[in-house]
């Protein structure tokens, strides 16, 4: 597969990969800490918080990566915004369903759930910052300058 001409693609791929690793580490840590604080209820609450935060944060990056596949198409902009907006709507629907399903569940410890969601979001933001600082992307990208039609007529000898 040829590399994507869109400069955000490698950034988003790297962010999703690192976020997956950080989520796995956070899931283990949160499960252990949740278990030590509130037993099995705390463990499941912590795991649910980490997983929900990871899913929500991954949907945006994944939707942009999917939309970037249409780069260069005449309908790229409407396709891009349709896919990204669809991802946000999907997140909203998942959020409402998750609230309805998790509300009042006996296996949810609200404080542990909340703390695990907040820590997961902060970790994701940290991953985003680190990836952006480490990636080398030109200040102006995804732009092609027009060819100079007079370039062939120029010479190094200028008449005075």
Secondary structure element (H or E) that encloses residue 53, with its range: helix 8-67
pLDDT for res 104: 84
Is position 49 within any domain? Answer: yes
Examine residue 154 and state whether it is found in any structural domain, yes or no.
no
Say what the pLDDT of residue 57 is.
87
> 34-67 as b/e, with b when 16 or more CB fall inside 10 Å?
bbebbeebbbbbbbbbbbbbbebbbbebebbbeb
Please state the domain count of the chain. Answer: 1
Handedness of CA 16, 17, 22, 24 (dihedral sign): positive
In this prediction, residues 121-139 reach a mean pLDDT of 83
Q: Does residue 149 sit within a domain?
A: no
Q: Residue 1 pLDDT > 50, yes or no?
A: no
> Could you tell me how many residues make up the chain?
160
Residue 84 counted as domain residue: yes
Task: Determine the structural domain holding residue 101 and report its residue range.
Answer: 8-137
pLDDT tens track for 10-48: 888 888 999 999 999 999 999 999 999 999 999 999 999
Is residue 88 one of the residues assigned to a domain? Answer: yes
For residue 77, being part of any structural domain is answered with: yes
User: Is the residue at 3 inside a domain?
Assistant: no
């Amino acid at each position: 597969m040829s590399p994507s001409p869109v400069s955000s693609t490698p950034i988003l791929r790297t962010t999703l990969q690192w976020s997956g690793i950080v989520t796995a580490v956070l899931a283990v840590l949160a499960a252990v800490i949740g278990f030590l604080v509130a037993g099995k209820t705390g463990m499941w609450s912590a795991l649910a918080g980490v997983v929900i935060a990871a899913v929500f944060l991954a949907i945006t990056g994944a939707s942009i990566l999917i939309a970037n596949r249409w780069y260069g198409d005449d309908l790229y902009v409407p396709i891009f915004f349709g896919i990204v907006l669809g991802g946000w709507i999907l997140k909203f629907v998942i959020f409402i369903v998750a609230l309805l399903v998790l509300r009042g569940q006996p296996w949810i410890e609200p404080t542990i759930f909340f703390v695990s969601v907040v820590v997961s979001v902060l970790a994701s933001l940290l991953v985003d910052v680190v990836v952006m600082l480490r990636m080398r992307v030109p200040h102006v990208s995804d732009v092609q300058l027009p060819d100079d039609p007079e370039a062939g007529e120029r010479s190094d000898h200028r008449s005075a």
